[in-house]
């Protein structure tokens, strides 16, 4: 009997001394998505070696501070025209012209003129400023390609900033 009481006391003490597991802390962030102030029609095409039509998009995330991200965001079922080598290289744009390459997007998952699988991809992170300009260019220097769509509040390229 005494052995049972001692074992129960020891086991209960051991159980209370063990570290408790708590659920993993998940950091929740709220974001603001800024649409382009440029025309909502997006068109980039290439027919190398002579013809390239790049798309320039300007964003003005007023009051944004800290880190911003350029995001490609397209819901499944969104109408889009994509053909050939449709990967897009993205560059910063400066007053002097084409700046630094910051990333590549695509080709997007398209079938029958619609996005087949939702896309929500960060292309690049950078310091937030009140005026951001990017140039989108078909990545291939040897194959024809194009990407065309009309941006909406839910689909297109966006600048994402943390909400204060």
pLDDT at 7 over 80: no
Number of structural domains the chain divides into = 1
Whether 17 is in a domain gets the answer: no
Q: Please give the pLDDT value at position 10.
A: 41
pLDDT digits (tens, 9 = 90+) for 112-164: 999 999 999 999 999 999 999 999 999 999 999 999 999 999 999 999 998 75
Enter the pTM of the model. Answer: 0.79
Cis peptide before 19 (omega within 30 of 0): no
Whether 5 is in a domain gets the answer: no
pLDDT digits (tens, 9 = 90+) for 59-95: 999 888 889 999 999 999 999 999 999 999 999 998 8
Whether 9 is in a domain gets the answer: no
Whether 106 is in a domain gets the answer: yes
Whether 8 is in a domain gets the answer: no
Q: 64 versus 2: which is more confidently predicted?
A: 64
Whether 1 is in a domain gets the answer: no
Cis peptide before 79 (omega within 30 of 0): no
Q: Please give the pLDDT value at position 27.
A: 52
pLDDT range class, residue 6, cuts 50, 70, 90: very low
Whether 23 is in a domain gets the answer: no
Burial of 103 (C-beta count, 10 Å sphere; 0-12/13-18/19+): middle
The whole domain housing 108 covers 30-162
Whether 155 is in a domain gets the answer: yes
CATH code, 154: 2.60.120
């Amino acid at each position: 009997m005494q052995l049972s009481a001692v074992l129960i006391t020891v086991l209960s003490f051991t159980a209370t001394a063990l570290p408790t597991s708590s659920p993993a802390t998940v950091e929740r962030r709220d974001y603001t998505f800024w649409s382009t102030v440029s025309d909502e029609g997006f068109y980039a095409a290439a027919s190398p070696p002579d013809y390239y039509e790049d798309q320039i998009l300007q964003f003005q995330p007023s009051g944004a501070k800290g880190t911003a991200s350029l995001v490609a965001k397209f819901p499944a079922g969104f109408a889009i025209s994509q053909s050939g080598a449709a990967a897009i290289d993205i560059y910063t744009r400066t007053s002097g012209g084409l700046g630094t390459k910051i990333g590549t997007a695509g080709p997007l998952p398209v079938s029958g003129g619609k996005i087949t699988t939702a896309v929500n991809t960060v292309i690049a992170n950078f310091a937030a400023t009140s005026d951001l300009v990017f140039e989108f260019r078909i990545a291939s220097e040897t194959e024809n390609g194009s990407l065309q769509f009309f941006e909406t509040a839910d689909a297109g390229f966006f600048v994402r900033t943390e909400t204060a």
